Structure 1
Amino acid sequence: MTERRTDRLLLRQWRDDDLDALAAIDADPEVMRWIGDGSVRDRAQTLMALARFAAAWSNRGYGPFAAEADGVLIGWVGLLVPTFLPEIMPAVEIGWRLARGAWGRGLATEGARAVLAFAFDDAGLDRVVSVCHVENTASERVMTKLGMHLDRDTVVPASGVPVHVYAIDRAVQT
């Protein structure tokens, strides 16, 4: 079983009993504000996301980790394939989604550092990107703390949402 520990987090594989906690996170309008079109997700959509996460791990050997702090699921941090942005493909994206109560404590950065190490050391990736809405300054701060650099500004074709694309190469990982 693939898992990573940091000072305050356990990044682990998903369990069946994670659905309720993740569904609550996905139903929070503030959490979802910068995700896709900003819509919240219902329980069925969250269940489908968990199935996609499991398939990613099975097919690629990486995906989103469940992020747990003090024994409580607070969201996820992990690796995804950003097919929603064809101009940067092929690519692997690092992303995160944390419950509002976990914001502002450096947990996204802490988890993302561990996932970047996993990406380069275990998954064998040479480059990782991260995509955020241009107004999502909190995620942009995480990206810069990870040592990522602005690769480009672009627009998501399906939604017209303007985004920043950050990148980091294995050779410059901090």
Structure 2
Amino acid sequence: MNKKRFLSLLLFIGIFQSYSQTSPETKGIASGRHTQKWEFICEAYVYSRNLEVRIAKTDKGGTLELSEAVSNPELYIGGTVYIYLEDNTFIVCTDKGLHQNLDGNAISLYTLSQTELNRLKNTAIKSIRFTIKGIRGRFQSQVGNFTAVNKKQYFDVYDKRIRNSFETEIEIKQLETN
């Protein structure tokens, strides 16, 4: 069992090093071929209330990066992630074990196929369902299932011409032109 963990750790470190080439700000995804960080609102997770989401274009499709502040480096985002889209469909992302804790943030990478990336180009992300795993102790952040909603602010603005959500589909389309 220890050999498996060690090999998984080596693979994980190698993948993260290959993804973070230039700037320490990128935290996992190579600069130049990724969207901006979207801060989705997660009301049920009281430790930070924001899930940072970013998508990158790869040779075989794409990568979804999720980052959430945690109080304990043993906590991580793991398990199946569901991406709910505006057209009432969803994308299921399975856990490949690509987890890292950096500067108090649990960061996880999920792979997206080319077909899934094409769906994200045509329809905006509505919300993301994720799980924070680990052993919970006293005075630590929560563990369990959470939903982060694609909203910039808690309350909608009065002017309906101003969009209160991130235009994820537009930014993902722009990855093709970069």
The TM-score bracket by the shorter chain reads under 0.3
Greater RCO (CA < 8 Å, at least 6 residues apart): 2
- Report the TM-score, using the length of structure 2 for normalisation: 0.27
Quick check: which one's strand share is greater?
2
Structure of greater Rg: 2
- Report the TM-score, using the length of structure 1 for normalisation: 0.28
